[in-house]
Chain A
C-alpha cells in the first residue's frame, strides 16, 4: 500500500517535472547577457530601469550582478575562464589593463558603428576608451569633478560673493575664516577607497595649475610625484586646508573619520559649520537624502573651482562609467550598441546623479537646472581631462589615496609622502 502510494507520487512528480521543462524551453528564448558592475541599491534600480526597455524590445534577458569589489572579481572570473559578457566599471584603468592583456573584444571593427559613434562622442571620450589604437571601452554616463557647493542663503546672509578667479576665491576663504567659521567641509572616509575625495582636489589643482601636458604625463607615470609641479599642487591644497587643517570644520579628525557622503552636511547646519564643499556632481543625491526638504537652486548651488592659472582657463576633471565587451555574443553586441544611445542614457539621467557624455543628448532630459548647469560645465570645458586616479594603474591609485590620508594627518610630511609615491610609481607602471 505504502509503496504503491510512493510510486504514484513519483510518477506524478516526474510528469510535472517534464511538463515544466517542456514549458520552460517552449517560450521564445532570445538569450541572456551577463553584466557585472558596481551599482547597488538605488543605483542598481536606475541601471535596471535602463535595461528594461532593451529587454522589452529585443527579448534578450540581462542578468545583472553587482559587486563593490569589481576589480578583484573580474580578474578572478577571467582567470577562471568564466567572464561576464559585459563589464561596467567606474574607472577605466582596470579595463585598459585587461585590453592590453587581450581579454577584451575590439569594438571599432563592426560592433560599434564608428561613423555614428564619432559624431556623437567628442574625441576625448573616444581616446579614453582606446588602447593601442583600438577601441575597447565606451562611456555611457559621466560626472564632473571640482564643483564647489554652497548654500546661497548663507552666502547672501553674510554678503559673500561667488568668486570668479583664484584670488577672489582665496580672499573669500580668508574672509570666512576671519569671521570665526571654518570655510570648508572636507570628508575623505570611503571604506577601502578612503582618501579619494582628497585626491580629487589635488588632480583638479594639477590640471588647472600646470595644464594638460603635465597632467597627462603625470598620470602616465612620466612626471615624478616629487616634480615641482605636482608638489606645488599638494601645497596649494594645503593652503586650502589651512595650517594643521584649520580651515576645515572639525580639523583632521573629522576629515579622516567622516564618510564622503556626509561631507556636505555641515553646509546646511544651523548655524552653518562651513560654507563650501568640493565634490563631484553626484553629491546632490546625498545632500537631499541627508537633509530632507532642501531644494536645488534655493538651498544649494555650485560654482566650478576657479582657474588656478589663467593660462589653463576652463580646465575640468571628469569621470565616466566605462563598458567593455569580454565575450562576443550577438546579444551582448546589441546591449553594447544600446548603452551608447542617448535614449538609454536619458533613462538614468532623468532619475538623477548622472550626466550623459553623448553630444546628441537633449539638455531637457536633465531633472533640474543645477544638473543642466553641471552638464554645461562639462560640455563647455575648454580642457576636459579624465580623473587621473581612475586611469593610473591600480597600485598607483591606491597609494595616491593613502597618501591623501597621510597628508591630511600631517601636512609637514609632504616630502616623505611624495618620495614614497615615487617609489610606487617606479614599479606600478611595469605591470
Chain B
C-alpha cells in the first residue's frame, strides 16, 4: 500500500480515529476520577477495601470477557458436533481413541517429546552459557549473539531452519548448512525433517536454538544476584569451582531454574509455529496445537475444541505450579 492510499484510508476513518485518540483516554480519566470521587464519599474504614477493586476492575472485566468466557465457550463447544447436536464426550472419545497411533495420540506423544527434550536442552544450554559467559571479559557480546534468535519470529526461524536442513542428492553441492557440515566429514547427506525417525528431534533442535537465549538471560541475571562474598567464603573454605557450582550456585539458582523451566514447559505444550511451517504435522511430527488448528481449518469446531480443552487440561497443573513458584521466589526476596 503506498503512502497516499494509506493516508486516504486513515482520513476516511477520521471519526473512528478521533474517538480512539480522544475518547479512550477521556473515558479512562473519567473512570479514575469518578472512582476516586466515589471512594472519597465513603467512610474511612471502607476505603481501603473498595479502592483496589476500582483499580483492578477494568482488567478483571477484560480477562473475564476475553479469556474466561472463551475458555468456557470452548469447553461447551467441545460437546457438540458440526451440526450443533449435543454429543456429550464423543469428541473426546474420538481424539483419545486408537492408542497408540490413532486420534490425537501421535500429537500427545510428540508434545511429550517437546516437553522433556525442549525444556531440558534449553535449561542445560541456558545454564551453561550463563555460567560460562559470566567468566569471560567479552560476556555481553557473546550473550547478545546467543540472545539474537529471540528477536526473530518463530515462523522466520522455522523457514531459516528449513533451508539449513535442505537436501541435495549425494555428490551434489549441499546447499543446506547441516548436510554441508556432514559433507566436511565425508558423510552422506540425509533428510532431516522428512524422515519420521529424526524429524521430531530436528524440529526440537531448531526450537532450542531459538529459545536458549531466553533461558540464558534470566539465569544469568539470577547468577549475578548471588552475593560475591558467598562465593568468596566458599573459596576460602577450600571449595573448588565445580563444588562451588554444585553446592552454592546451583541451589541458590534453583527457584529461578524452576520458574524458567515451567515457562518452557508451557511453551513446549503450546508448540505450533515451527511444526506448522516445517512439516505441518507430516512425518509423525504433529503436535496438539497444530492438530487443533488443522481441525478448525476444515470446520470441525467440536473436535478442535476438544483438542484445545485437552491442551488446557495439560497446561493448568503447570500453570498452578508456576504461579506458586513465582510466589515462593517473591517471598524470598
Closest A residue, CB atoms, query B194:
A256
Q: Residue B11 contacts which of A20, A97, A256 (CB distance < 8 angstroms)?
A: A20
Question: B296 touching A253 by the CB < 8 A rule?
Answer: no
- Does A398 interact with chain B (Cβ within 8 Å)? yes
Question: B282 touching A72 by the CB < 8 A rule?
Answer: no
Question: A253 touching B194 by the CB < 8 A rule?
Answer: yes
Q: In the complex, what residues of A have CB within 8 A of residue B12's CB?
A: 24
- Does B249 interact with chain A (Cβ within 8 Å)? no
Could you tell me the distance in whole angstroms from the C-beta of B178 to the nearest C-beta in chain A? 12
Given A254-B167, A254-B168, the answer on whether A194 and B296 have CB atoms closer than 8 Å is no
- Does B300 interact with chain A (Cβ within 8 Å)? yes
Question: A21 touching B194 by the CB < 8 A rule?
Answer: no
Question: B169 touching A253 by the CB < 8 A rule?
Answer: yes
Question: B11 touching A431 by the CB < 8 A rule?
Answer: no
Could you tell me the distance in whole angstroms from the C-beta of A104 to the nearest C-beta in chain B? 15
Q: How far is the CA of A402 from the CA of B282 in the complex (A)?
A: 7
Q: Residue B282 contacts which of A24, A71, A394, A405 (CB distance < 8 angstroms)?
A: A405
- Our count of residue pairs bridging A and B at CB distance below 8 angstroms stands at 74
Q: How far is the CA of A189 from the CA of B12 in the complex (A)?
A: 43
- Does B191 interact with chain A (Cβ within 8 Å)? yes
Q: Residue A431 contacts which of B82, B277, B282, B293 (CB distance < 8 angstroms)?
A: B82
Could you tell me the distance in whole angstroms from the C-beta of A256 to the nearest C-beta in chain B? 4
- Does A389 interact with chain B (Cβ within 8 Å)? no
Which of A251, A254, A393 gathers most chain B CB within 10 Å?
Answer: A254
- Does B88 interact with chain A (Cβ within 8 Å)? no
Closest A residue, CB atoms, query B15:
A21
Q: How far is the CA of A71 from the CA of B276 in the complex (A)?
A: 16
Q: How far is the CA of A285 from the CA of B191 in the complex (A)?
A: 28
Interface residues of B in 171-196 (CB under 8 A from A): 189-191, 193-194, 196
Q: How far is the CA of A263 from the CA of B277 in the complex (A)?
A: 20
Q: In the complex, what residues of B have CB within 8 A of residue A393's CB?
A: 298
Count residues on chain B whose CB falls below 8 Å from chain A CBs: 30
Q: In the complex, what residues of B have CB within 8 A of residue A405's CB?
A: 194, 282-283
Closest B residue, CB atoms, query A73:
B297
Count residues on chain A whose CB falls below 8 Å from chain B CBs: 32
Q: In the complex, what residues of B have CB within 8 A of residue A253's CB?
A: 167, 169, 189-191, 194
Q: How far is the CA of A250 from the CA of B166 in the complex (A)?
A: 13
Question: B298 touching A398 by the CB < 8 A rule?
Answer: yes
Question: A394 touching B14 by the CB < 8 A rule?
Answer: no
Interface string of A152-193 (1 = CB under 8 A from B): 000000000000000000000000000000000000010111
Given A192-B280, A194-B280, the answer on whether A394 and B298 have CB atoms closer than 8 Å is yes
- Does A58 interact with chain B (Cβ within 8 Å)? no
Question: A394 touching B297 by the CB < 8 A rule?
Answer: yes
Question: A431 touching B299 by the CB < 8 A rule?
Answer: yes
Which of B8, B193, B296, B297 gathers most chain A CB within 10 Å?
Answer: B297
Interface residues of B in 257-278 (CB under 8 A from A): 276-277
Closest A residue, CB atoms, query B159:
A191
Q: In the complex, what residues of B have CB within 8 A of residue A72's CB?
A: 293, 296-297
Closest A residue, CB atoms, query B290:
A192
Question: B297 touching A71 by the CB < 8 A rule?
Answer: yes
Which of B165, B196, B299 gathers most chain A CB within 10 Å?
Answer: B299
Q: In the complex, what residues of B have CB within 8 A of residue A71's CB?
A: 297-298
Interface string of A189-203 (1 = CB under 8 A from B): 101111100000000
- Does A141 interact with chain B (Cβ within 8 Å)? no
Question: A194 touching B282 by the CB < 8 A rule?
Answer: yes
Closest B residue, CB atoms, query A408:
B194
Question: A257 touching B194 by the CB < 8 A rule?
Answer: yes
Q: How far is the CA of A315 from the CA of B277 in the complex (A)?
A: 36
- Does A395 interact with chain B (Cβ within 8 Å)? yes
Q: How far is the CA of A398 from the CA of B190 in the complex (A)?
A: 26
- Does B294 interact with chain A (Cβ within 8 Å)? yes
Question: B169 touching A17 by the CB < 8 A rule?
Answer: no
Q: How far is the CA of A256 from the CA of B166 in the complex (A)?
A: 10
Interface residues of A in 191-250 (CB under 8 A from B): 191-195, 249-250
Could you tell me the distance in whole angstroms from the C-beta of B324 to the nearest C-beta in chain A? 36
Which of B166, B190, B298 gathers most chain A CB within 10 Å?
Answer: B298
Question: A249 touching B299 by the CB < 8 A rule?
Answer: no
Q: Residue B300 contacts which of A17, A24, A431 (CB distance < 8 angstroms)?
A: A431
Question: B169 touching A257 by the CB < 8 A rule?
Answer: no
- Does A75 interact with chain B (Cβ within 8 Å)? yes
Closest B residue, CB atoms, query A192:
B280
Q: In the complex, what residues of B have CB within 8 A of residue A257's CB?
A: 165-167, 191, 193-194
Question: A395 touching B300 by the CB < 8 A rule?
Answer: yes
Closest B residue, CB atoms, query A405:
B282
Q: In the complex, what residues of B have CB within 8 A of residue A398's CB?
A: 294, 298
Q: How far is the CA of A315 from the CA of B82 in the complex (A)?
A: 37
Q: In the complex, what residues of B have CB within 8 A of residue A194's CB?
A: 279-280, 282
Interface string of A52-81 (1 = CB under 8 A from B): 000000000000000001011001000000
Q: 28 A-B pairs, CB-CB below 8 angstroms?
A: A20-B14, A24-B8, A71-B297, A75-B296, A191-B277, A192-B276, A192-B280, A193-B280, A194-B282, A195-B282, A249-B169, A250-B167, A250-B169, A251-B169, A253-B194, A256-B194, A257-B165, A257-B167, A257-B193, A257-B194, A393-B298, A394-B297, A395-B298, A398-B294, A405-B282, A405-B283, A409-B194, A431-B298
What 4 pairs between A and B have smallest CB-CB spacing? A250-B169, A256-B194, A192-B280, A394-B298
Given contacts A21-B14, A253-B169, A254-B167, 6 further A-B contacts (CB under 8 A): A97-B299, A192-B277, A395-B300, A402-B282, A405-B283, A430-B82
Which residues of chain A have a CB within 8 Å of any CB of chain B?
Answer: 17, 20-21, 24, 69, 71-72, 75, 97, 189, 191-195, 249-251, 253-254, 256-258, 393-395, 398, 402, 405, 409, 430-431
